[in-house]
Amino acid sequence: MKMTGAQIICESLVKEGVEVIFGILGGAVLPLYDTLPQYPKLRHILVRHEQGAAHAADGYARATGKVGVCMATSGPGAANLVTGIANAYLDSVPIVAITGQVARPFIGKDAFQEIDITGITLPITKHNYLVLDVDSLARVIKEAFYLARSGRPGPVLIDVPRDVFTEPAEFSYPSRVNLPGYKPTLQGHPAQIKKTAKLINEAQRPLIIAGRGVIISGAYAELKQLAETAQVPVVTTLLGISCFPEGHVLSLGMLGMHGMAYANMAVNAADVIIAIGMRFDDRATAKVSAFAPHARIIHIDIDPAEIGKNVRVDVPIVGDVKIILNALNKLIVSTEHIGWVQQLDDWRREHPSTVIRDSQGLLPQFVIRQIYEVTQGEATIVTGVGQNQMWAAHYYWYNRPNSLISSGGLGTMGFELPAAMGAKIGCPEDTVWCIAGDGGFQMTIQELATIVQEKVAVKIAIINNGYLGMVRQWQELFYERRYVATPLSGPDFVKIAEAYGIPGLKVRHKEEVIPAIEQAMAHQGPFLIDFVVEPEENVYPMVPPGASIAEILEEPKKEVAIWPQRSTP
C-alpha cells in the first residue's frame, strides 16, 4: 500500500503497540503531526519543553515496561531532548525518540533549525538513525523498537528529514529484524552457572546485590526464591530498590554512598557476593579498591561490557537475569546461615539507618514516612535528585515490585515531574507521588501545565528546604559550611500551582502532614503539597567521597527505631 513517510511512521508506531507519544511539534515535524489525527490510537501529549517529553517517555517506560516514545522538531527541539535521552541511556530505559530534520537538500548547510542530532546523541543512544530513504523507514522503526527493548534496553533516536515525511512509498511492516551485529546473549553459560551454584552452596557469608536488571527482566520471584532457598541476604542498588520486598527478613535495603550502614557492612564482610543486574556504579561501591575485600564476586549481567569494568569479577555470567536465576535456582541447595543472618540482624539493630529523631521542626524524613503510611506502601514513587531522592529511598518502604522511579546514573534534577507524569499516564490506576526538591522542581516546573491540560492526577510533594540541599550538605561537611550558590529563594509553590489550576497546600508543622496527604489522596486530580522542612537537615548514613564503603558517617543523634516489624511476606 502506498503511503507517505509520515503515515508509515504512524502506522509502524501502531504496529509496535504505541499508545502515547510525548512531544512538541515544529516546522520540521509538521507533516508528521499533520498525519497524527488519522491515527486516533496514538495519543499525543503536548509537553511544555522537550526535556519533559524525554523524561515523560522515560517514566512511562519504567512504569509500564513498554517502550516510551517522544517526538521533537529539528534543531532546538532535538537538542532539548538530549538530557532526557542521556538519562535513559545511563539507566537502561527503552525509549524511542523521533526527531524532525531539515529537508535532505539542506542537510549539512547550517539550514534554519538544523542540528546534527545523530552526531550529538551518538554516545548517549544505544543506536541512532538518520533516515535518508523513505523505503527504509519501516525497517528502521522496527529495528529501533527491537533495539530499545531487547538485550540491555536503551534509547534509540530516529532523525527524519522533513521531505521524507511527505514522500510516498510502498508500506509493509517487516515481521523480523536482521541485525548481524546485534545478538544479545540471553542464556547464561551452564558451566558458569554451575560454578556459581557451588560458590553459593559453600558460602559462609553470602550476599546478593540486586540492581535494576532484576526489574527489567521481571525476575522478582526468581530472586526471592534464590534468597530464601540459600538464605542469602539482599541489598539493592538505588535503581534496584523494589526488586525485592524491603519488609522481607532478608532485605538489608540499599547499599552505597547513602546506603544503610548495615548494608555496607554486609558488603564489607561477605565472602561471596552475587551481583545481579547491576553495574558497580561508583555511588554503589564507594572506593572501588576497598570494595568487598573478602568476597569472591559473581556478576550476572546482560551486558558483557559491564563485566570486569569497575570491579574484578571471579565468575561472570552474561545473559538475562530471569533465565539465569531460573537455571541457577535448580542447583541451589537449601541452606541456612544462622550466624551470618544473626550478625546482620545485630548490625541492623546497632546501626539503625532509617530512624527519625524527635524534632520540633518538620523533618523531611517524617514527611516521606507519612506518605508511606497514608498510601500504605502502594504508591509509585518518582523522585528528583539529591536529598529528596535519598530520603525517598530511605523512608518509604518498597514492597511492591517496580514502585520506585528515580534518575540514578545521570542524576538529573528536574526528572521528577515529567517522569511522574509519564508514569501516571502509563499506569493510570496507580497512585503516583512525585517527590521533588525545591531546586529540581523549578527545572521542569512548566510541565504543571501539561498535567492540567491532560488531567494527569499525580500527587506532588515538594521537600522545600530553601537550598540545593545535597550540595549544601557537601558544603557543610567538606567545605566548612561555605554555602556558595546553594541558598535558593523559591516562589510560593502553592500560588504557582493555583495559577496552573492545581490545588495545593503549604505544610509547616508535623500535625498538618497527614491531613494534607489525605486531602491530596482524596482529591480526584493533581495536587501539590509544599512541605517547608528543616533547612539544614542532612542525609545519613553517608560514605564521604573517596572513602571506602565501610567508612560510614551515621547520623549524630539516634532515637528508637519506629519501623514496623519485619516479616516474611
Contacts of 376 (CB under 8 A, 6+ apart): none
How many residues in the chain? 569
Compare residues 179 and 562 and give the one whose CB is closer to another protein.
Answer: 179
Residues 355 and 559 sit within 8 Å (Cβ to Cβ) = yes
- Residue 367 is placed in which grid cell? 514527611
- Residue 482 is placed in which grid cell? 561555605
Residues 78 and 25 sit within 8 Å (Cβ to Cβ) = no
Compare residues 176 and 455 and give the one whose CB is closer to another protein.
Answer: 176
Q: Tell me the window of 9-17, 301-309, 448-456, 509-517 that interacts with another protein (CB under 8 A).
A: 301-309
- Residue 111 is placed in which grid cell? 539550514
Compare residues 305 and 499 and give the one whose CB is closer to another protein.
Answer: 305
Q: In whole angstroms, how close is the CB of 216 to another protein at the nearest point?
A: 17
Q: In whole angstroms, how close is the CB of 251 to another protein at the nearest point?
A: 33
Residue type, 247: G
Total binding residues for another protein by CB under 8 A? 19
DSSP assignment of 422-484 = HHHHH-TTS-EEEEEEHHHHTTSTTHHHHHHHTT---EEEEEE-SB-HHHHHHHHHHSTT---
Q: In whole angstroms, how close is the CB of 141 to another protein at the nearest point?
A: 15
Cβ burial of 268 (10 Å; 0-12, 13-18, 19+) is buried
Residue 98, φ and ψ in degrees, nearest 5: -110, 120
Contact pattern from residue 68 through residue 107 relative to another protein, giving x for each residue in contact according to CB under 8 A and a dash for the rest: ----------------------------------------
Q: In whole angstroms, how close is the CB of 183 to another protein at the nearest point?
A: 8
Compare residues 20 and 117 and give the one whose CB is closer to another protein.
Answer: 117
Compare residues 146 and 433 and give the one whose CB is closer to another protein.
Answer: 146
Q: In whole angstroms, how close is the CB of 193 to another protein at the nearest point?
A: 21
Compare residues 191 and 305 and give the one whose CB is closer to another protein.
Answer: 305
- Residue 262 is placed in which grid cell? 548495615
Compare residues 138 and 550 and give the one whose CB is closer to another protein.
Answer: 138
Contact pattern from residue 105 through residue 144 relative to another protein, giving x for each residue in contact according to CB under 8 A and a dash for the rest: -------------xx--xx--xx--x--------------
DSSP assignment of 23-57 = E---GGGHHHHHHGGG-TTSEEEE-SSHHHHHHHH
Q: Tell me the window of 62-70, 305-313, 434-442, 460-468 that interacts with another protein (CB under 8 A).
A: 305-313
Pairing of strands 168-170, 2-4: antiparallel
Residues 403 and 381 sit within 8 Å (Cβ to Cβ) = yes
Q: In whole angstroms, how close is the CB of 206 to another protein at the nearest point?
A: 27
Q: Which of 304, 411, 525, 544 binds another protein (CB under 8 A)?
A: 304
Vertex 398, ends 393 and 401: CA angle to 5°? 120
Compare residues 185 and 453 and give the one whose CB is closer to another protein.
Answer: 185
Count CA atoms within 13 Å of residue 564 on its CB side.
16
Nearest to 67 by CA among 118, 12, 131: 12
Compare residues 154 and 426 and give the one whose CB is closer to another protein.
Answer: 154
Q: Which of 41, 198, 309, 481 binds another protein (CB under 8 A)?
A: 309
User: Which of left, alpha, beta for 277 (phi over 0: left; psi -120 to 50: alpha)?
Assistant: left
Pairing of strands 272-276, 296-301: parallel
Compare residues 131 and 197 and give the one whose CB is closer to another protein.
Answer: 131
- Residue 91 is placed in which grid cell? 539507566
Q: Tell me the window of 17-25, 61-69, 225-233, 306-314 that interacts with another protein (CB under 8 A).
A: 306-314
Contact pattern from residue 165 through residue 204 relative to another protein, giving x for each residue in contact according to CB under 8 A and a dash for the rest: -------------xxxxx----------------------
> How far is 508 from 406, CA to CA, in rounded Å?
26
Q: Which of 305, 499, 561, 562 binds another protein (CB under 8 A)?
A: 305
Residues 237 and 254 sit within 8 Å (Cβ to Cβ) = yes
Q: How far is CA 407 from the centre of its chain?
A: 5
> How far is 172 from 393, CA to CA, in rounded Å?
47
Q: In whole angstroms, how close is the CB of 178 to another protein at the nearest point?
A: 5
Contacts of 414 (CB under 8 A, 6+ apart): 51, 55, 384, 440, 441, 443, 444
Q: Tell me the window of 164-172, 307-315, 520-528, 549-557 that interacts with another protein (CB under 8 A).
A: 307-315
Compare residues 308 and 535 and give the one whose CB is closer to another protein.
Answer: 308
Q: In whole angstroms, how close is the CB of 121 to another protein at the nearest point?
A: 11
Compare residues 151 and 233 and give the one whose CB is closer to another protein.
Answer: 151
Compare residues 39 and 182 and give the one whose CB is closer to another protein.
Answer: 182
Q: In whole angstroms, how close is the CB of 37 to another protein at the nearest point?
A: 34
Asked if 373 touches another protein (CB under 8 A), the answer is no
Nearest to 227 by CA among 198, 200, 253, 261: 200
Asked if 314 touches another protein (CB under 8 A), the answer is no
Beta bridge partners of 45: 22
- Residue 311 is placed in which grid cell? 570491579
- Residue 85 is placed in which grid cell? 535521552
Asked if 289 touches another protein (CB under 8 A), the answer is no
Compare residues 151 and 414 and give the one whose CB is closer to another protein.
Answer: 151
Q: In whole angstroms, how close is the CB of 538 to another protein at the nearest point?
A: 35
Q: In whole angstroms, how close is the CB of 179 to another protein at the nearest point?
A: 6
Residues interacting with another protein, by CB under 8 A? 118-119, 122-123, 126-127, 130, 147, 178-182, 303-305, 307-309
